[in-house]
Amino acid sequence: MKTIQVIELDHDNKIRLLHKLHKAYLWDDPNYHFFFEPDLIVRTSNWFEISDYLDKRKIDYFLYDYPYSNLCFGYGESRRYRKIQPNLEKLYHLQAEIILNNKSKKLKLFVANRMHHCYLNMLGYEHYDESRYYLNQAYSYMPHQITKFIIKLVYRMTK
């Protein structure tokens, strides 16, 4: 498998390209998956056909080994990752299929919610613990924005 990192496309064009690649090359690859990092990252065994497609359309990209590349987006030689890599790749592939084969954003978000909830539930988290987990995650990603939101909320409540 290789990583194809498509560069210098705006988000809408990355999505259009991804759907074209899925329809032509990815649909029969049982291991492909993708991410927006913010470049479009596609990991696939069909890399040769896709690189040919991108070359013909003069779309800029990098091509490198996956998963053990020290270039750009890869996992290097992480032993911790190697243990769970096969399971994560199955999960990434299933997520990619759900995203690319369903048009309804509401359905996609419902599936994301179910996946998150079920994973935390399997870890033994109760609903309260799950809520605390998400609040901690949100705060770690955006502490300034959340602090501003809380201040505004408290201000409104005291009026």
pLDDT at 28: 93
pLDDT tens digit string along 66-94? 866 655 555 555 677 778 888 888 999 99
Task: Put the strands of the sheet holding 61-65 in their side by side order.
Answer: 33-36, 40-44, 2-6, 61-65
- Measured CA to CA, the distance from residue 6 to residue 41 in angstroms comes to 7
2-48 tens-digit pLDDT? 999 999 899 999 999 999 999 999 999 999 999 998 899 999 999 99
Of 71, 92, 91, the closest CA to residue 63 belongs to 71
**22: Cβ contacts below 8 Å, ≥ 6 apart:** 100
Place 140 in a pLDDT band, splitting at 50, 70 and 90.
Answer: confident
Q: List Cα–Cα distances, 157 to 51, 58, 150, 152, in angstroms.
A: 57, 56, 10, 9
Q: State residue 159's pLDDT score.
A: 64
Task: Spell out the domains of the chain, with CATH numbers in brackets.
Answer: 2-101 (3.30.70), 104-159 (no CATH)
Residue 25: closest CA among 58, 52, 49: 49
- Residue 57 sits at φ, ψ, to 5 deg, of -95, 5
Percent of the residues in the chain that have a pLDDT greater than 70, as a whole number? 91
For position 50, what pLDDT does the model report?
97
Predicted pLDDT of residue 11: 93
Which has the higher per-residue pLDDT, 2 or 135? 2
Whether the predicted pLDDT of 106 surpasses 70: yes
The model scores a pTM over 0.85: no
Is residue 32 within 8 A of residue 42, CB to CB? The reply is yes
